[in-house]
Structure 1
Amino acid sequence: MPPPRTQGKALRHRLAELRGGPQVPPKALDARALAALAANPGCGRRAILDGAGVDKAALARALGSPSAFGQSQFALVRGNAFEAKVKGDGGTELLRLAHEHLDRAAEPPTGALVPDLTAAGPSGRTARTELALREAAGSPGSWTLLDHPMLALDVAGSVAFLEPDAVIVHPDGSWTVVEIKSFPLLDGAADPAKVGAAARQAAVYVLALEEVAARLDPAPRVRHRILLVCPKDFSNLPTASAVDVRKQRAVTARQLARLTRVEDIAAALPEGVSFSPELPAEELTAAVEAVPATYAPECLSSCELAFHCRDRSREAGAVTSLGRPVRAELGGLTTVEDVLAAARGEAGDADDPAVAALRRAAALRAEALEAARAEVAPCP
């Protein structure tokens, strides 16, 4: 067996080939993508594309199924402006919100250490962030604000570099993830779907911070209540809410552990396969189809290839296109054709609970239609 260093070099070379060659830089895997990947751990297609750093938006356009997924330029500009306002004046307002919502027992922040985290490349920034966290943990009693630190997390054999909006080190040495979003908190509450997405994203940062903490002695505590900072009502004034992400952290850790390792997926691919958007459409389609996907309607809000996978799922008549809850209820019936045949009594085991439920539903539907026809039938 080749030594680990040789194996790692061979894998990096293979992943570069999948992108289209070493001249194509890998697309960074961020926390939002990791949260989406963890929500669908059975999708080998997304795992290999993200692990290889393939630009899925460009790939979707080349396949003829461009995605509308992503933020508008206006939303990005508004979000950046709000974040700059929150962190202005050395993070005074951000630290006040952290003290108010997370750590009232501590001394109110009158100032904070804001270490310089600049370094060459993601690896250098990751090392600089860990050094800053180590120094902050070694000098308790003061507040420290890390602005856009860089964290690393191993995902299925591939390293993902993550950049939270901020990390706060409390006077007791504990660490808190800060998420700054541009959607509003109206009367102290926000859109549950958006809060849930922010919590799943923050859970990835918490996992990465826990890996850093585990390398320190003694290990600092990574808080599982993150600080979500948003505009207040319809103004541009920042307000905040403490969000418990223990559930999201546990689910994300479990799902990421279930991911098939990138090298295993790459090894199963035919020799010469590439996902370069520069390839002819037919060749590119064949390459993408060589990796099995697990499509669900939820992919439409989180994956650039969702439209392509949806079309293929519908062509195959897969029940996954109807949603994960429906798929879970149907057991071994994987296609719409199988479901209809089971409902008509033409296939399936009558002792199978899913088959029995389908036949019962079909009988009730037939009875209802017969009753409706009888009601509208003309009088003799």
Structure 2
Amino acid sequence: MRGPDVPAKSLDARALAALAANPGCARRAVLDGAGVDKARLASALGAPSGFGQSQFALTRGNAFEARVKADGGAELLRLAHTRLDPGAEPPAGAAVPDLTAHGPEGRTARTALALREATRAGGWTLLDHPMLALDVAGSLAFLEPDAVVVHPDGSWSVVEIKSFPMLDGSADPAKVGAAARQAAVYVLALEAVAGRLGADPAEVPQKRSAPDSAPVPRVHHRVLLVCPKDFSNLPAGCAVDVRKQRAVTARQLARLTRIEEITEGLPEGMCFAPDRSAEELTAAVQAVPAAYAPECLSVCELAFHCRERSREAGAVTRLGRPLRAELGGLTTVEDVLATARGERGDPDDPAVAALRRAAALRAEALTDAAHREAAPCP
């Protein structure tokens, strides 16, 4: 579907978090499942998006991450000890295993082996850019967190390194929320690894019953967020509880329809290759239903295209999901206005009654305003 010579664009945690936030969008599910580069597709459709980080931000973020992980991750492990596990022994001489392997499948297997070995060995271990796999609607997504820390008791923690500043001990709530949703995807993937190792990721780690036995792996729901301190390049860390984001993401990912079920009703030979004409691409994209909402503008490369089509159709979803939920079966702006004017709709429907009441109040307010303007000055 992406074209015979077009390489697949792999899913990352940010894309999965966005997909989970809008599970009803079949268009995004198909495009992400097929590995389509949505940024190139949006440009080919004539609706390019400014979505994503600038090259300057990427360079700054990479430089900060390298500083945090310098000297075998000594500063990162110190922050993990201070913020996540202060009762454990200090992280002196922590292990940093080599995770290189061929292909994502090989790196995933190497990461699972390193986690098993670190859990059995005890002590602090830092996994730099491990590879995790997560099943999403029948497709396997390979995810690469910034780091995973194995604690001396055998439990595991996700580390997110971001380049936005932490001022006076706190950061921008919107950016922290986005980082938490991304980290929640990594937590789910780590729990899947723990499950494959034969452990329940929700259990509390048990003490060793024998010298050769390993503690039960447990994935912490508090992740370590590392950001620059104030206006410097010095790292600062804080613990972020992602239990809510993890629960929401798990529920939404479980609701996603399998890609095979969505594609069964699509035209034969549909292709999203960027070298196709704009007319062909538009027809292909429109054949897959979308669920546009204003929130898509900050998380999806096709948001501008979908917004324009939503405006043309007069869909109420472009006004926001909360309003759409309040309007019940009214799906277009034309239907809403006709209902408010009393031209259609069941008067016993709560949404219809509320619209007509609002229209009456608006008309009354406009009449009063007109009378005040027409009245002579005293």
Amino acid in the other structure paired with 1:186? L
Cross-structure match for 2:83: 101
Deviates more, 1:37-46 or 1:105-114: 105-114
Say whether 1:201 aligns with 2:182. Answer: yes
Which of the residues 236, 239, 242 maps onto 1:242? 239
SS at match of 2:284: helix
* Residues 1-380 of structure 1: pairs in structure 2 closer than 5 A: 18-21=1-4, 23-140=5-122, 142-218=123-199, 219-379=216-376
Write the distance in 2 (CA, Å) between the matches of 1:262 and 1:379: 68
SS at match of 2:30: helix
Write the distance in 2 (CA, Å) between the matches of 1:98 and 1:68: 35
Write the distance in 1 (CA, Å) between the matches of 2:195 and 2:135: 14
Write the distance in 2 (CA, Å) between the matches of 1:42 and 1:374: 48
Cross-structure match for 2:213: none
**4+ residue runs over 2 A deviation:** none
Cross-structure match for 1:4: none
User: What are the superposed Cα offsets for residues 37-58 of structure 1, whole Å, 9 maximum, x if unpaired?
Assistant: 0000000000000000001001
Write the distance in 2 (CA, Å) between the matches of 1:379 and 1:48: 64
CA RMSD of aligned residues (A): 0.9
Write the distance in 1 (CA, Å) between the matches of 2:185 and 2:103: 21
Write the distance in 1 (CA, Å) between the matches of 2:255 and 2:198: 29
Q: CA deviation at 1:95?
A: 0.5
Write the distance in 1 (CA, Å) between the matches of 2:320 and 2:288: 21
Amino acid in the other structure paired with 2:282? T
Amino acid in the other structure paired with 1:190? A
Q: CA deviation at 1:283?
A: 1.2
Write the distance in 1 (CA, Å) between the matches of 2:376 and 2:49: 55
Amino acid in the other structure paired with 1:48? V
SS at match of 1:326: helix
Amino acid in the other structure paired with 1:34? L
Write the distance in 1 (CA, Å) between the matches of 2:197 and 2:103: 23
Q: CA deviation at 1:378?
A: 4.6
Preserved contact between residue 6 and residue 273 of structure 2 (Cα < 8 Å): no
Write the distance in 1 (CA, Å) between the matches of 2:375 and 2:291: 50
Amino acid in the other structure paired with 1:342? T
Question: TM-score, normalised on structure 2?
Answer: 0.94
Q: CA deviation at 1:24?
A: 1.7
Write the distance in 1 (CA, Å) between the matches of 2:372 and 2:72: 74
Deviates more, 1:155-164 or 1:218-227: 218-227
Amino acid in the other structure paired with 1:20? G
User: What are the superposed Cα offsets for residues 243-280 of structure 1, whole Å, 9 maximum, x if unpaired?
Assistant: 00000000000000100101111222111111111111
Write the distance in 2 (CA, Å) between the matches of 1:216 and 1:126: 13
Cross-structure match for 1:13: none
Which 5+ residue runs of structure 1 have no aligned equivalent?
A: 1-17
Question: TM-score, normalised on structure 1?
Answer: 0.94
Preserved contact between residue 166 and residue 228 of structure 2 (Cα < 8 Å): yes
Write the distance in 1 (CA, Å) between the matches of 2:257 and 2:99: 33
SS at match of 1:152: strand
User: How many pairs align?
Assistant: 361
SS at match of 2:48: coil
User: What are the superposed Cα offsets for residues 276-318 of structure 1, whole Å, 9 maximum, x if unpaired?
Assistant: 1111111111110000000000000000000000000000000
Write the distance in 1 (CA, Å) between the matches of 2:6 and 2:282: 20
SS at match of 1:294: coil
Write the distance in 2 (CA, Å) between the matches of 1:308 and 1:172: 50
Amino acid in the other structure paired with 1:32? R
Deviates more, 1:346-355 or 1:143-152: 346-355
Which 5+ residue runs of structure 2 have no aligned equivalent?
A: 200-215
